[in-house]
Structure 1
Amino acid sequence: MTAVAAAPAAARRRAPLTPHGLTWAVLRLHRTALYVAGASLVAFAAAMVWLYVVGDDARAANRACGAPRAWVPSCEQFTELADSYGSVLSLTTTALSYLMFPVAAWAGGALIGRELESGTALLAWTQSVTPLRWLAAKLAVPALLLTAGTTAAVLLNVWARQDENPDLARDWYYPDVFVSTGPVAVTYVLAGLALGALAGLATRRALPAAGVGFVLTLFLYNILERSREDLWPTVEKTSNTFGGLPRSAFQVENGMVLVSGERVTGGHVCSRMPPGYDCVPDADIAGYYRAFHPPSHFWPLQFVDAAIALAVAALATATAFWLLRRRTG
């Protein structure tokens, strides 16, 4: 009898790595979002594999038919391939760089706001689960999954781009390209998750939380995008002629150096303008200057940008815990 009774108990015993408790509850409750995210990652991976496979042909077509030359019958077909390559890469890059927005809306509306509005969270708190532990599980499980998924997507994107031909893949400093090719993408998603959760705790209603989380994330995205060029010191180049920057240089500022040593940002040379326009006489110009970020500044800008987003995520998370403790303490 003892042996027979022990068998079902052993069968019911969970494996050490099997999700259980709050982790299992979070995964089960939000399994629809998990399925959608998994399917999206599979579709993204398939698109990256296609880009990698046709990448050499697309770049060869761009080199052969993009430059001024006699028309050849195969150019039309080649151009269609290059256009398709650029369109798919642009679409997937944009989707990855904007991933933080749906994450923020979901975190505010479904992850936190809906449970507070429906009373599900209060019920969980009466089942020997403290509010702080509940929130920790609510944030930790999605954070781990989003970090793993976004990291995989970024690595696939970098792999598919190969030599990053700027004529097809756009230069590294374009906002979508910059976000989707480095650790910034991961920290942006985590910031969206934290801001959405904070919005959910603040409003305690699903729909307003989704909207507030989206707006907060949009504000953060715009602030970081507009200030990105100032996150690292620029390189300056002066010369007697206007021009001479490398193809992939991220120009921040340009202007003229006067004989007096004064600098004029932008401005116009009188010899190139019709009479009556505000301009600088040619005799007063000693040279030209340009401030820019070379391609080697990609990683310093990435790390500073990612650190700011990660700090926002940490601050929003700490504020969410403080707010929950204050309301339930």
Structure 2
Amino acid sequence: MTTMDMRRGASLPRFGQVWVIWRQHRAATYGLLALLAAYGTTVLVTGLRARSYYDRLGLNACRSFTTGTCQQLGRAFTSSYPPLFLLLFLLVLPAAFGAFVGGPLVARELETGTYRFAWTQGAGRTRWIVTRLLLVGAALFAVTAAYGPLYTWWIAPYEHVLPTGFNNYLRFEFTGVLFPVHTLLAFAIGVVAGVLVRRTVTAVAVTFTGSFTLVFVTVFALRRYYMTPLTTTGAPGAHDWALDTTYRDSAGRSLTGGQAHDLYLRFLHQLPDPNAEVPPGAFRSWLQERHYSLLTSYHPAGRFWPFQFIETGWMVVLTVLLGAVSVWLIRRRTS
């Protein structure tokens, strides 16, 4: 660009910003792809090994794993199936992606002072931040969207043997549409943190802590209230989300925790072998014979997708708002 062009305020070429963003973030992109490749390889190797063991045990012919030979075979399978390190890795992944991609996005520019150069090259600060948010966010979404199908394939044999309700964090996160949405929200938190604190390491730490805390609060405090739970005196299904259980006597009065515990001890004492495993549903039947009842509140398995869409909706709205806050803060900042 000539001096005359600079005086006329010539803008960057159409794809100039894209090229600059690629040059700045290609190392992070390669890192994301390498992490996905490592995850995919681990899932493939352990998944094929688990399926081979599953077939050798003949578990596909079992329809129930609560009694008999199928129960013993199911225990042998589940005890050797899930690699703990992979599960722990998945738990922290959204917060980690948001912290290490979103945290430095603006904080690094503000910390080193290179933003002064970037904002005077014809792009303008608004185009500069919006382009980064859209392109880096889209790349992050595309990469993280691949994790869900891999996890769904990997966990399928385990889910057949030991089905879990949709309150299970990993099942809800990875067999639906939430994982890339959670990651984008963590990314947006990271960008805002970077604009505010202007220090890369601090922004990464704040983002990781804030994103992980948000997911923790959502899973353990907020999610159960998306819809009003149902109640039943029977046992919820394997894929239902059981919330709370209340013991009631024949007059309909709720029992305290100590009273319920005493009832269970009485039940165990009348068994032929108190040390033997209690058959499924035996305690519930014993209570009903004595005119006690168990009232369980739960979310049925059919609410899995409504819950997914509710959580996706408010997280998308929050992500967009945080992106708008980032743009507003950059526009107000003096060079």
Q: What TM-score bracket applies, with the shorter chain setting the length?
A: 0.7 to 0.9
Q: Which amino acid aligns with 1:105?
A: A
With structure 2 as the length reference, what TM-score do the two structures score? Answer: 0.75
Q: Is the 8 A contact 1:254 1:266 kept in 2?
A: no
Superposition deviation, residue 155 in structure 1: 1.5
CA distance in 2, matches of 1:96, 1:126: 41
Cα offsets for 1:138-193 (capped at 9, x unmatched)? 21112111111111111222133335526568554221232122111111000011
How do residues 252-267 of structure 1 correspond to structure 2 at under 5 angstroms?
Answer: 252-257=243-248, 261=252, 263=254
Aligned residue for 1:29?
24
Q: Sequence identity, in percent?
A: 25
Aligned residue for 2:52?
57
Aligned residue for 2:271?
none
Unaligned 5+ residue runs, structure 2? 1-13, 60-64, 267-287
Give 3-state SS (helix, strand or coil) of 1:268's partner: helix
Aligned residue for 1:320?
326
Cα offsets for 1:50-82 (capped at 9, x unmatched)? 344334333346677x9766xx9xx9xx95x76
CA distance in 2, matches of 1:290, 1:267: 18
Q: Is the 8 A contact 2:102 2:186 kept in 1?
A: no
Aligned residue for 1:123?
117
CA distance in 1, matches of 2:315, 2:179: 10
Cα offsets for 1:246-285 (capped at 9, x unmatched)? 23332101103455655557562465569xxxxxxx9x97
Superposition deviation, residue 311 in structure 1: 2.0
With structure 1 as the length reference, what TM-score do the two structures score? Answer: 0.76
Q: Equivalent of 1:248, from 236, 239, 246?
A: 239
Superposition deviation, residue 26 in structure 1: 1.3
How do residues 189-208 of structure 1 correspond to structure 2 at under 5 angstroms?
Answer: 189-208=183-202
How much is the aligned-residue C-alpha RMSD, in angstroms? 3.4
Q: Is the 8 A contact 2:165 2:301 kept in 1?
A: no
User: Does the alignment pair 1:86 with 2:82?
Assistant: yes
Aligned residue for 2:139?
145
User: Does the alignment pair 1:237 with 2:223?
Assistant: no
Superposition deviation, residue 326 in structure 1: 1.9
Superposition deviation, residue 225 in structure 1: 0.9
Superposition deviation, residue 294 in structure 1: 2.6
Gap change, CA 1:130 and 1:225, over 3 Å in 2 = same
Cα offsets for 1:81-104 (capped at 9, x unmatched)? 7655311xx544443342221222
Q: Equivalent of 2:167, from 141, 163, 173?
A: 173
Superposition deviation, residue 30 in structure 1: 1.6
Count of matched residue pairs: 292
Q: Larger RCO: Structure 1 or Structure 2 (Cα < 8 Å, ≥ 6 residues apart)?
A: 2
The range that moved more, 216-225 or 91-100, is 91-100
Q: Which amino acid aligns with 1:208?
A: T
Q: Is the 8 A contact 2:191 2:326 kept in 1?
A: yes
Give 3-state SS (helix, strand or coil) of 2:17's partner: helix
How do residues 38-117 of structure 1 correspond to structure 2 at under 5 angstroms?
Answer: 38-60=33-55, 79=76, 83-87=79-83, 90-117=84-111
Give 3-state SS (helix, strand or coil) of 1:251's partner: strand
CA distance in 1, matches of 2:226, 2:256: 20
Superposition deviation, residue 125 in structure 1: 0.3
Unaligned 5+ residue runs, structure 1? 1-18, 275-281
Q: Is the 8 A contact 1:85 1:168 kept in 2?
A: no
Q: Is the 8 A contact 1:190 1:313 kept in 2?
A: yes
Gap change, CA 1:147 and 1:93, over 3 Å in 2 = farther
Gap change, CA 1:325 and 1:258, over 3 Å in 2 = farther
Q: Which amino acid aligns with 2:210?
A: L
Q: Which amino acid aligns with 1:223?
A: V
Superposition deviation, residue 132 in structure 1: 1.2
Gap change, CA 1:264 and 1:317, over 3 Å in 2 = farther
